[in-house]
Structure 1
Amino acid sequence: MNAIEKTYILSGSSASKLGVLDLIIGCLYKHECYAYEIHTFDDNDVERFFFRVEFRYVGGGEFAEESLRSQFGDRAEAFDAVWDLRDSSTPDKVVILVSKYDHCLQDILHRHSIGALNIDIPAIISNHPDLERLAQWYNIPYFHLPITADTKPQQEAEIWSIIQKVDADLVVLARYMQVLSDDMCKKLHGRAINIHHSLLPGFKGAKPYHQAYEKGVKLVGATAHYVSKDLDEGPIITQGVEPVDHTYTPDRLVAKGRDTERLALAKAIKMHVERRCFLNGNKTIVFPGH
């Protein structure tokens, strides 16, 4: 493939009906598009067909994107389809929420800087001032919005205002140590990702890794999931796990856990912005990527 050729992603879900593959492949064929990566899944439980097709235009002249959108949309109505067509080079705008822990933020900013994540970061928001220098190093606007029990509604209103102002596609909670309100969770449904140690629900509350040490755990890990009003119980996107043994002190468990958190969160962001994740009730459909 020529390096300058544009590629696109057609993704979504439809009713499980005869003809849905013709809807997808037929429309692409008529518009001289070559599908080089195709993933599908039919969920019999809910009778929904999930699809993701990566393709490029191989015809002569200019790609008739609006014609494809129009014809696909007209036919898709009969299949109760919810779909999205996106130029795969277009970066998602990602707002990052963080508190004092910097390991996940550091990792995201580094991956972004080397082009490993196809994202723009128009804002970093924190309830503490500690990580402002890190944001300045990467030349990203940093918003310090302190919070107390009394000021939580006002603080969340400011967060929401920033999210809207920058037209964010995704919000990432990179160890943001505050619980979002039910109202905020509702506003961010399907476009907010959180990370936590996968020791939950076994070790809740303060110092989970110290609790794990006292129990002599043999595995530590992390779970990246979509935010929901049920704390740390949203639909799971990615999980990571690493073996440990009796030689691991609480500090070493924390260090191992942080490594796993970084990787799990980065994978989840990549899967989401590449349109590989689909909400399916309390679960997710996640098509594999590179």
Structure 2
Amino acid sequence: MTTPDDDARPGTEDPTHWVLSLSCPDRPGIVAAVAGMLAAHGGNIEESQQFGDPLSGLFFMRVQVAATAPEADLRAALGELGERFGMTWELDVAGRRMRTVVMVSTAAHCLHDLLFRQQSEALPVDIVAVVSNHTALADVAAFYGIPFHHVPVTRDTKQQAEARLLELVEETGAELVVLARYMQILSDELCRTLTGRVINIHHSFLPSFKGARPYAQAHDRGVKLIGATAHYVTGDLDEGPIIEQDVERVDHSKRVEDLVALGQDVERRALARAVRWHAEHRVLLDGHRTIVFR
């Protein structure tokens, strides 16, 4: 039998499941400080991963925790901890779907895959817009009920097109932009504005075969493995921090078109994993590298 005061008793609140990710200069006591702060706020750690990088001297940590403390209290405590250890940190509700804009040109396979996985595999994103410099994939977006925005790009209109993209990011509240075979190079200014928030899929196992027609380049070199690379976008073409890579074995009998067909499946897999890990706050930047807690 319950009484009117039951809900007011300490410890009876339903906990909120959080994901905390952080990085800071490595030093003793970080894990103990984080765990102690969470315990002091009614937190029960459900998963914890950490890594100290001897090259950069940085410490990285991802924690999933169920906590009864109000969000404001948790953030205040993290702010104090952050000042003490020089931390960069992020706190989010576990499993929250990240608002995402997908940019495409004419290739449909990555867009189809992301939209399908969003519906069928609980990919933790909410695709709020599809943006393209062509109209070829408008029907794909319409099939899934996603708003489609045609933003043509020419040499003379590139600045206006990127301004429109930023408007759409702001209007939709997008936290992530995915270049799902968007065959345009983003300006340095746009890359800086969206640092750490743009993921690209490159149809090559970077750093090999950068730029255009990588499958033709790979075929010409007689490669035995073809691959795809999902990475964050920076001002340096195809050189942003790598999140995920995947490969398929091939042999001398494969034509360029065979490599393209096999490669498209590799691209889908690598991009979907990178998007999932980013949305689950499993990817932390470490200079020009990434730490990925799988």
Opposite residue 43 of structure 1, the aligned amino acid is D
Tell whether 2:245 aligns with 1:235: no
Partner of 2:257: 251
Partner of 1:214: 220
SS of residue in 2 equivalent to 1:179: coil
Partner of 2:44: 34
Does the Cα contact within 8 Å between 1:223 and 1:239 map onto a contact in 2?
yes
Between 161-170 and 5-14, the greater mean CA deviation after superposition: 5-14
Partner of 1:265: 271
Partner of 2:4: none
Partner of 1:45: 55
**Cα distance between partner residues in 1 of 2:174 and 2:59:** 28
Partner of 2:17: 7
**Cα distance between partner residues in 1 of 2:78 and 2:163:** 38
State the number of aligned residues: 281
Identity %: 47
SS of residue in 1 equivalent to 2:234: coil
**Distance apart, 1:41 and its partner CA:** 0.7
Q: Gaps spanning 5+ residues in structure 2: where? A: 1-13
Tell whether 2:208 aligns with 1:198: no
Opposite residue 91 of structure 1, the aligned amino acid is R
**Distance apart, 1:223 and its partner CA:** 0.4
**Distance apart, 1:165 and its partner CA:** 1.2
The aligned runs of 1:12-27 (5 Å cut-off) are 12-27=22-37
Does the Cα contact within 8 Å between 2:207 and 2:239 map onto a contact in 1?
no
Q: TM-score when scaled to structure 1? A: 0.92
The aligned runs of 1:159-170 (5 Å cut-off) are 159-170=165-176
**Distance apart, 1:285 and its partner CA:** 0.8
Partner of 2:84: 78
SS of residue in 2 equivalent to 1:54: strand
SS of residue in 2 equivalent to 1:148: coil
Q: Gaps spanning 5+ residues in structure 1: where? A: none
**Cα distance between partner residues in 1 of 2:88 and 2:205:** 35
**Cα distance between partner residues in 1 of 2:75 and 2:195:** 25
**Cα distance between partner residues in 2 of 1:211 and 1:15:** 42
**Cα distance between partner residues in 2 of 1:21 and 1:84:** 16
Runs of 4 or more, structure 1, over 6 Å off, are: none
Q: TM-score when scaled to structure 2? A: 0.91
Partner of 2:8: none
**Cα distance between partner residues in 1 of 2:208 and 2:271:** 21
* C-alpha distance after superposition, 1:208-243 (max 9, x if no partner): 222322332110000000000000000000000110
Does the Cα contact within 8 Å between 1:96 and 1:125 map onto a contact in 2?
yes
* C-alpha distance after superposition, 1:97-155 (max 9, x if no partner): 10000110010000001243111111110000000011011111100011111111111
Does the Cα contact within 8 Å between 2:231 and 2:243 map onto a contact in 1?
yes
RMSD: 1.6
Opposite residue 99 of structure 1, the aligned amino acid is S
